[in-house]
Amino acid sequence: MKWTLYKHPLHNSTEKTDASIGSLVTVYISENKKYVRRVFDADGITVSEKKPIVKTIVGMRKLFTNELHWLSALKDSNKVPKFIDADVEEMSIIQEYVGTDVYTLLQNKKELPSDVVQQIVEIYQEYKQKGLFKNNGGPRNLAIKNNKVIAFDFKWSKTRTISTIDKEWMSICHFMKRIHPDLLSELKQTFDDFPVEQSLLKKYR
């Protein structure tokens, strides 16, 4: 299979994107654009054409192993890209390519599915069932394929515990508000363990 190095569409944008873009893995797209290969290479070049923020093989291996762990936990999910293969020596993962990320679609003023809020709520319900805290959830790590929202990139994910719930909600508040004005309130109503905003403000002042 032939692979082409992937460069993010916004990596050299003159517009203010207000988000970091591809700061860790080297990404390749198959020639037929059906598959994506993500390589955890401490000496690689990221999709933003910079060196990875994690600069050690040990650090990269931890993230690679963590991603494989969560992909295994989500192996039966239809809300993540189909897993194809992994190379432990190369520290690479091949999955189905699900298209342009939602952040880029929003920057280019593309319309999202009319039920995008409900789809994302269902994704987070699945995370909760699997005991997963995404940790880097948001439009940069979501894509739309055939009007279906697909989540990817689980290298920073953690086990969902009482001590991580505050940070999970803060992550959601920071990233998800860009997608739809109703999304935060819908997620808040769905998850009764998320803290009230006032308590978060006091806790993190």
- Cβ atoms of residues 13 and 20 within 8 Å: no
pLDDT in tens, 128-177: 999 999 988 889 999 999 999 999 999 999 999 888 888 888 888 888 88
Residue whose C-alpha is closest to residue 172's, from 69, 80, 104, 180: 180
Q: What number is the average pLDDT over the span 94-118? A: 94
> Over the stretch 20-74, which tens digit does the pLDDT of each residue have?
677 899 999 999 999 999 999 999 999 888 899 999 999 999 999 999 999 999 9
Contacts of 151 (CB under 8 A, 6+ apart): 79, 80, 123, 134, 137, 141, 142
Q: For tokens 């994302």, what's the residue? A: 120
**Token pair 């194809």 in the structure block, residue:** 84
Scored b (16 or more CB within 10 A) or e, 58-70 reads: eebeebbeebbeb
First to last CA, the chain: 51
* Amino acid sitting at position 61: R
For residue 101, the SS3 value is: strand
Distance CA 154, CA 123 (A): 13
pLDDT for the residue numbered 29? 96
Would you say 200 and 170 are in contact if contact means Cβ atoms under 8 Å apart? yes
pTM of the model: 0.89
In angstroms, the CA 72 to CA 48 distance is: 28
Whole-Å CA distances, 180 to 86, 113, 134: 34, 11, 19
Tokens read off for 57: 């093989």
